[in-house]
């Protein structure tokens, strides 16, 4: 599912964030990337969802190779991923329900299926009763659970979470 082979990612001003990293996560496996602040965990995440490409080495995710993937195919890869960002990236002008629904709308999901799927995942994360609240009306932990619900609503093949327990209450 995810394979890094001798991956290095360097930035012009700060140098290498990752150097010769290799690992493999198979289907059904649960894996953690751990390390101190600045160790390259978020960089590895960006490489996995192909927001960035490695300086050298090979990144393969769900059948896609970072070195060969066409820019037009990256959205196809991302439809297979559920991503919980460290800063949540919620849309402030949308309710919890609308934030989760947005993940389905952008993939062209049928309107009739969106509501039930959104309520299902909000219930899973314990937020069905807060579906009509805006992010500013939710605690940090509740905002994080909305982000988790949004990541789960498309039934992803791979779930990525950057600092997944940082704000849970």
Instruction: Dig out the tokens for 101 from the structure.
Output: 């629904």
pTM, entire model: 0.89
Question: 2 φ, ψ to 5°?
Answer: -130, 130
Query: Which 3 state secondary structure label does DSSP give 100?
Result: helix
- Name the strand (E) or helix (H) holding 141: helix 140-152
* Residue 163, pLDDT score: 80
Q: Which domains does the chain have, with CATH numbers?
A: 2-78 (3.40.50.300), 84-161 (no CATH)
* Residue 168, pLDDT score: 63
* Residue 167, pLDDT score: 64
Strands (E), 88-163: 158-161
Beta strands across the sheet bearing 2-11: 15-25, 2-11, 56-61, 64-65
* Residue 71, pLDDT score: 94
Task: Quote the CA–CA distance of 86 and 42 in Å, as a whole number.
Answer: 9
Taking only the tens of pLDDT, the chain with its 169 residues reads 999 999 999 999 999 999 999 999 999 999 999 889 889 999 999 999 999 999 999 999 999 999 999 999 999 999 999 999 989 999 999 999 999 999 999 999 999 999 999 999 999 999 999 999 999 999 999 999 999 999 999 999 999 998 877 666 6
Closest C-alpha among 90, 60, 58, 64 to residue 77? 64
Task: Quote the CA–CA distance of 160 and 34 in Å, as a whole number.
Answer: 14
Task: Quote the CA–CA distance of 44 and 4 in Å, as a whole number.
Answer: 9
């Amino acid at each position: 599912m995810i394979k890094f082979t001798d991956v290095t990612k360097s930035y012009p001003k700060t140098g290498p964030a990752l150097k010769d990293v290799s690992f493999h996560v198979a289907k059904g496996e649960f894996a953690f990337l751990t390390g101190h602040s600045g160790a390259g965990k978020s960089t590895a995440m960006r490489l996995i969802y192909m927001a960035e490409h490695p300086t050298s080495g090979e990144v393969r995710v769900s059948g896609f190779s970072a070195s060969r993937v066409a820019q037009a195919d990256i959205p196809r890869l991302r439809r297979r991923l559920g991503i919980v960002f460290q800063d949540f990236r919620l849309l402030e002008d949308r309710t919890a329900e609308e934030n989760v629904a947005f993940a389905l709308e952008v993939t062209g999901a049928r309107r009739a299926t969106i509501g039930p799927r959104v309520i299902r995942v909000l219930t899973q994360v314990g937020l069905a009763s807060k579906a009509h609240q805006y992010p500013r009306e939710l605690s940090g932990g509740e905002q994080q659970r909305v982000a988790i619900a949004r990541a789960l609503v498309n039934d992803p093949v791979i779930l990525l979470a950057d600092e997944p327990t940082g704000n849970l209450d």
